[in-house]
Structure formats: structure tokens, C-alpha cells
């Protein structure tokens, strides 16, 4: 499923979607960036509550298909700008990570 | 915590609760480290209490004298490969020269380093909540220094002007933000 379709199905709020037609597969949830760096897989939807600039670097390094900020977390403007520049899809959502994961599972991701 | 400025607020609140009349909040940056020092002249801690404050399960909620500020600061520092050092002189043992000093070292080039956040708001929150206490804030970075000393402010304003009056807080905010811009 593409990022655009997934985001629409979950009613995620788009912050930066430079690669909306990219396919997503699998989900990774984690907040300790060094841990995520070693474990998230290419193509994953990465759900986190961390919103500092380093998340863009981690997403870029692990090649996840998007970052979803859970629990209503909103990043600083420079994070959104950098995500756009680096080709990282970035969304935010009101729901906690578990709720999002359950709904992603329902979509077959 | 998501921002270091919130950790700083938490640690400085401990100093306020310890009855300090002067709280020093010092930040010193090198190219790859940040050292935070919070030093106060409050009542200090006995060696016994001191040993327990970084252990989140040390005592029950009702008898715990400080919050989770120190364990969380320790976590934030250690997850960057840094450390926290704690020294304290208890008022009961050293009535002349008592207080606590927390020194945390962060490796800023580590991916798990949490950004500073809005430290100016932290300082304003502290002054607003405890206008009778003096705060010395100093942030040294790339050769420039941002500084605020409420003792000097009091000298100029006189004792009758409370530091948490709107105009004073507004001035402090502008004064600090201006220094950060240069």
C-alpha cells in the first residue's frame, strides 16, 4: 500500500509528504533513537513520540517509508522543513502508538 | 523527557524545595559535549539520602523527598554516553557551608542526545515561581556567553520590586533572547 493511501485510511495529518507514492510494509514502534536505528526495517511505518530533528536522520538512515508522530505530538517547524528536504514522509496523529498499530494491522500492513 | 530544558526545570525545583537562597544554573558547551551544573545553597542531603536519589525505587512516594528529576537526568545523560555527578553537604553536618551540586555531562554528538529546548522559558518559570530566590544563569557556547544574575537585577531595581512582576519578567525574557541571537 502507498503512503498516501495508508495516511488517508488512518486520517493521519500530513506534515511533509515528499514521497507519497512510496510503498510501506511493516511497522516499527520505538522512541530511543539509537535502538530504532539498529532495528527499524526499510519500508516500515515508524511510530514514535520523539519529535526532535534527529528523527529525520534516523528515518533517512533506516530508510523507513514514513514517520508517524503519535499521541498528538507536533514537531518544530525546522523538523518538518528538513523532512521535506530529505525526502522523509512525516505525519502526526492523535492516537497512541498501539491504536495506530492495530489500525495498520487492519489495513494489512 | 523530550527536552533538556524540562530536566533543568525539574532539577532546579529541587533546589527551590531545599530552601536555597541562590541557585546557579550553568551550561557549558564544547564542540561535542554539554555540561550542566545546578548548584544551590539549600539544606543539602545526608549521604544516605544522596545515595538513593538517583534510584527511582529507593523509597515509597510518601517518604521520597525529591521527585524523579535526578533519575531522569541521569538517564538523559547516560543515554548519550555521559554521566551525572552528585555532591551534597547536609545542613545538619555543615551548618556554614551546605548545599547540593549536580553536574551532568552530555555527549551532544550522540543520536540520543535530547535537544536543549526552550531554556529561557525554564529560567522565567523558575523566577516567576520563586521571586524571592536568586538565580545565576550562565550559558557558554562557541566563545559567547549568555548570562543573567538576579542579584544584579535586584541591585538595580531595589528590594521593593518583585522579580515576578510582569514588566520584570518581560524584560528578562527579552534580555536573554537578545543575548542568544548574538
- B79/A53 Cβ within 8 A: no
The domains of chain B, with CATH numbers, are 4-181 (3.30.565.10)
β-strands A90-92, A13-16 pairing: antiparallel
Of A34, A49, A53, Cβ closest to residue B112: A34
Domain span including residue A75: 3-106
Write down the residue that cell numbers 502526526 correspond to: A92
ipTM, interface predicted TM-score of the complex: 0.71
Q: What is the pTM for the complete model shown?
A: 0.84
B3 → chain A, closest CA residue: A52
Residues of A with CB under 8 A from a CB of B: 32-34, 37, 49-54, 57-58
For residue range A75-95, what is the model confidence (pLDDT) as tens digits? Answer: 999 999 999 999 999 999 999
Say how many CA atoms lie within 13 Å of B55 toward its Cβ. Answer: 9
Average pLDDT over residues A29-46: 95
Q: What percent of chain B has pLDDT over 90?
A: 81
B117 → chain A, closest CA residue: A52
User: Rounded to the nearest 5°, which phi and psi values hold at B57?
Assistant: -110, 15
Please give the mean pLDDT across all residues of chain B.
92
* Amino acid B53: pLDDT: 83
Look up the CATH number of the domain holding residue A68.
3.40.1390.20
CA–CA separation, A45 and A1 (whole Å): 11
Q: Is B87 helix (H, G, I), strand (E, B) or coil?
A: strand
C-alpha B90 chain-centroid distance: 19
Scan residues 92-131 of B and list those with Cβ closer than 8 Å to A. 110-115
Q: How many domains does chain A have?
A: 1
DSSP B90: -
Amino acid at each position: 500500500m502507498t503512503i498516501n493511501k495508508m495516511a488517508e485510511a488512518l486520517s493521519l495529518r500530513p506534515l511533509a509528504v515528499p514521497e507519497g507514492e512510496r510503498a510501506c510494509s511493516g511497522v516499527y514502534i520505538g522512541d530511543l533513537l539509537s535502538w530504532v536505528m539498529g532495528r527499524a526495517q526499510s519500508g516500515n511505518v515508524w511510530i514514535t513520540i520523539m519529535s526532535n530533528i534527529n528523527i529525520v536522520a534516523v528515518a533517512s538512515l533506516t530508510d523507513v517509508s514514513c514517520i508517524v508522530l503519535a499521541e498528538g505530538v507536533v514537531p518544530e517547524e525546522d523538523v518538518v522543513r528538513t523532512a521535506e528536504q530529505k525526502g522523509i514522509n512525516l505525519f502526526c496523529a492523535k492516537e497512541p502508538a498501539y491504536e495506530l498499530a492495530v489500525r495498520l494491522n487492519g489495513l494489512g500492513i | 523527557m523530550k527536552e533538556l530544558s524540562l530536566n533543568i526545570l525539574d532539577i532546579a525545583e529541587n533546589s527551590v524545595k531545599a530552601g536555597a537562597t541562590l541557585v546557579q544554573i550553568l551550561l557549558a558547551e564544547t564542540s561535542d559535549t554539554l555540561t550542566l551544573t545546578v548548584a544551590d545553597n539549600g539544606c543539602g542531603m545526608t549521604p544516605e539520602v544522596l545515595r538513593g536519589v538517583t534510584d527511582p525505587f529507593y523509597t515509597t512516594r510518601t517518604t521520597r523527598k525529591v521527585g524523579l528529576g535526578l533519575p531522569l537526568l541521569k538517564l538523559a545523560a547516560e543515554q548519550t554516553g555521559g554521566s551525572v555527578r552528585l555532591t551534597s553537604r547536609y545542613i545538619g553536618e555543615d551548618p556554614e557551608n551546605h548545599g547540593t551540586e549536580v553536574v551532568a555531562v552530555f555527549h551532544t554528538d550522540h543520536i540520543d542526545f535530547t535537544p536543549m529546548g526552550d531554556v529561557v522559558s525554564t529560567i522565567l518559570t523558575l523566577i516567576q515561581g520563586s521571586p524571592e530566590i536568586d538565580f545565576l544563569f550562565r550559558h557558554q557556547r562557541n566563545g559567547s556567553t549568555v548570562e543573567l544574575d538576579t542579584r544584579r537585577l535586584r541591585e538595580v531595581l531595589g528590594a521593593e520590586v518583585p522579580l515576578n512582576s510582569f514588566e520584570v519578567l518581560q524584560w528578562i525574557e527579552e534580555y536573554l533572547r537578545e543575548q542568544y541571537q548574538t
